[in-house]
Amino acid sequence: MPGNILTDSKGRPVRYIRVSVTDRCNLRCRYCAPSAEFVSLLHSQVLSYEEIERVAAILAPFGVTSVRLTGGEPLVRKHIDRLIGSLARTSGIEDLSLTTNGILLAEHARALKEAGLLRVNVSLDSLKPDRFRWITNSPDKRRKENLGSVLEGLEEAQRVGLAPVKVNVVLMRGLNDDEVGDFVDLTREGNLEVRFIEFMPMGPNGFWNRDRVVPADEVIGRIMKSHPGLEHVGKSKGSGPAVLHRIPGHRGSIGFITPVSSHFCAHCNRVRLTADGKLRTCLFSDTETDLLPLIRGGASDEQILGTIRQALLQKPDGHRISARGALAACARTMSHIGG
């Protein structure tokens, strides 16, 4: 590892970049992109695959070994497997993953795997068809955008060897927290990592309500009532913050991500690159550094790297959200930032 590895002002090494390849999506989940005023970026505003590859190649020699592609929905962007193939061949990139809503995963899983994708995260907040349609704002007439497509995607991802297949569940009290047991049951036979994520305040969408947060400790307590053998097994594979548990006899595992009740800012190792080229050093800070003018304005790799280093010096030591205090939402929605 080089001596000039990227670090922030607190000395935290940066190992992981999440790159949004598009702000467009085939769903309109209420906590992600619910606003009727949502306006998609123009094609000219979005980073090209070559521009994304360049940023990854600039960062990889300085310790950023993990890349996750997000959106919007990354699978709605054409030829995403080409980008994956290029990133997989980039020297220094050791961990390449993708987050998807799963609608298109069944038809793309094999091509993604063959291109070099290692693993996949599937966002899924309900196993009940009617509730799934409500959370995702999906009218019945959009037949392809349904729960069945997502479940087929999970099966196909396992079949082609993407591993682990992670299922991201944002729990919201009174909306889907009665399905904890159903999601846990997915780990009985499936080689899945089901991760319960605390609901976070994102975007000026009016959907945020602090009372909807279901702390991980509460979820663990519920699971232990029916599965007293639940055991802690360590950290999830990859660069993320999930803490894993396992139920004896179950093939899969259960993870917990606690940005609200017990944040992990002291060990944060990530930055985000939005689809329009803005570097974001903290999910909950609206401070952004626009790399697009540099990338398209003839700046050298050294100049771009220097700008990134300066941005990292402004990375906050931690966010200020709390399940018990006042919570301020980010100005941009999650679909604009990248999941």
Whether 134 has a pLDDT exceeding 50, the answer reads yes
Question: Nearest Cα to 193, choosing from 129, 237, 135, 127?
Answer: 237
Whether 22 has a pLDDT exceeding 60, the answer reads yes
pLDDT of residue 114: 98
**In the predicted model, what is the mean pLDDT of residues 264-283?**
89
Whether 184 has a pLDDT exceeding 90, the answer reads yes
pLDDT of residue 199: 87
Taking the C-alpha atoms of residue 60 and residue 6, their distance in angstroms, rounded to an integer, is 10
H/E segment holding residue 47: none
pLDDT of residue 155: 97
User: Could you give the C-alpha distances from 80 to 75, 106, 335, in angstroms and in order?
Assistant: 7, 14, 18
Please report whether residue 199 resides in a domain: yes
**In the predicted model, what is the mean pLDDT of residues 221-240?**
87
Q: Cβ(230)–Cβ(245) under 8 Å?
A: yes
Taking the C-alpha atoms of residue 249 and residue 125, their distance in angstroms, rounded to an integer, is 25
Residue 235 tokens read as 């950290």
**Averaged pLDDT score across all residues of the chain:** 89
Range with the poorest average pLDDT among 23-32, 168-177, 318-327 = 318-327
> Could you tell me which residue, 28 or 263, shows the higher pLDDT?
28
Residue 189 tokens read as 């036979």
pLDDT of residue 234: 84
pLDDT of residue 80: 98
Please report whether residue 155 resides in a domain: yes
Q: Which domain holds residue 160?
A: 16-337
pLDDT of residue 121: 97
Write the pLDDT tens digit of every residue in 77-95. Answer: 999 999 999 999 999 999 9
pLDDT of residue 320: 59
Residue 152 tokens read as 């087929």
Whether 287 has a pLDDT exceeding 70, the answer reads yes
Question: Nearest Cα to 189, choosing from 252, 120, 121, 255?
Answer: 252
**In the predicted model, what is the mean pLDDT of residues 217-238?**
91
> Could you tell me which residue, 282 or 13, shows the higher pLDDT?
13
253 pairs with which residues across the strands?
193
Residue 169 tokens read as 């569940």
Q: Cβ(216)–Cβ(256) under 8 Å?
A: yes
Kindly report the CATH number assigned to the domain that includes residue 65. 3.20.20.70
Write the pLDDT tens digit of every residue in 247-260. Answer: 999 999 999 998 77
17 pairs with which residues across the strands?
67, 271
State CA 336 to chain mean position distance. Answer: 13
pLDDT of residue 4: 86
Please report whether residue 9 resides in a domain: no
Taking the C-alpha atoms of residue 186 and residue 58, their distance in angstroms, rounded to an integer, is 40
- The length of the chain in residues reads 339
Taking the C-alpha atoms of residue 99 and residue 85, their distance in angstroms, rounded to an integer, is 16
pTM, rounded to two decimals: 0.91
pLDDT of residue 265: 77
Count the domains in the chain.
Answer: 1
pLDDT of residue 48: 98
User: Could you give the C-alpha distances from 333 to 28, 38, 196, 201, 262, in angstroms and in order?
Assistant: 12, 9, 20, 9, 22
**In the predicted model, what is the mean pLDDT of residues 63-73?**
96
Write the pLDDT tens digit of every residue in 309-324. Answer: 999 998 887 665 653 4
Q: Cβ(154)–Cβ(182) under 8 Å?
A: no
290 pairs with which residues across the strands?
278
Please report whether residue 11 resides in a domain: no
Q: Cβ(192)–Cβ(305) under 8 Å?
A: no
Give exposure, 59-85, as e/b (b: 16+ Cβ within 10 Å): bbbbbbbbbbbbbbbbbbbeebbebbb
State CA 178 to chain mean position distance. Answer: 23
Say which DSSP state 209 is in. -
Taking the C-alpha atoms of residue 135 and residue 137, their distance in angstroms, rounded to an integer, is 6
Whether 143 has a pLDDT exceeding 60, the answer reads no
**Percentage of the chain modeled with pLDDT above 70:** 86
Taking the C-alpha atoms of residue 53 and residue 87, their distance in angstroms, rounded to an integer, is 6
Please report whether residue 63 resides in a domain: yes
- β-strand pairing of 119-123 with 231-235: unpaired
**Residue 290 one-letter amino acid:** D
**In the predicted model, what is the mean pLDDT of residues 200-216?**
74
**Percentage of the chain modeled with pLDDT above 90:** 70
pLDDT of residue 31: 79
Q: What is the CA radius of gyration of the chain?
A: 19
**In the predicted model, what is the mean pLDDT of residues 138-158?**
82
DSSP-derived secondary structure for 137-199: T--TT-TTSSHHHHHHHHHHHHHHT-SSEEEEEEE-TTTTGGGHHHHHHHHHHS-EEEEEEE-
> Could you tell me which residue, 238 or 167, shows the higher pLDDT?
167
Please report whether residue 4 resides in a domain: no
pLDDT of residue 326: 44
Range with the poorest average pLDDT among 1-15, 22-36, 138-152, 298-312 = 138-152
Please report whether residue 240 resides in a domain: yes
Whether 1 has a pLDDT exceeding 50, the answer reads no
Q: Is 255 helix (H, G, I), strand (E, B) or coil?
A: strand
Please report whether residue 314 resides in a domain: yes
Taking the C-alpha atoms of residue 18 and residue 270, their distance in angstroms, rounded to an integer, is 7
**In the predicted model, what is the mean pLDDT of residues 69-84?**
96
